[in-house]
Amino acid sequence: MTCYFRHLKQTFTELGVEVTPDNKRVIDKKIHELLGIEYKNCSATWKEIKKRIAEDESGFMTSLDGTLGKLW
């Protein structure tokens, strides 16, 4: 779970998302939901994140911000 979070530190910082032990699982579930990938499939999730960033980083950031912004 959350094996890709270390790669997204800068992204989370830019979005103003503070990842804590208490909210890490919720964030992970929301990212899987956003990407349409079964929860806990870390490899597929990271692969899709990289693909979306390569295709449209700004669009991905906007989608991620919208998804995670609903948590707070």
Q: What are the structural domain ranges in the chain?
A: 5-69
- 């103003």: which residue's tokens? 16
Confidence at residue 2, expressed as pLDDT on a 0 to 100 scale: 73
**pTM for the full predicted model:** 0.92
- Spatial distance between the Cα atoms of 13 and 30, rounded to a whole number of angstroms: 17
Q: Is a pLDDT exceeding 90 seen at residue 14?
A: yes
Yes or no: say if 33 and 67 are a contact pair by the CB < 8 Å rule. Answer: yes
User: Encoding tokens for residue 27?
Assistant: 């964030």
Q: Is a pLDDT exceeding 70 seen at residue 1?
A: no
> Cα–chain-centroid distance for residue 41?
13
What pLDDT, in 10s, does the model give residues 39-58?
999 999 999 999 999 999 99
* 31: CB partners within 8 A, 6+ apart: 45, 49, 64, 67
| Single-letter amino acid, residue 70 | K
User: Please, what is the average pLDDT of the chain?
Assistant: 94
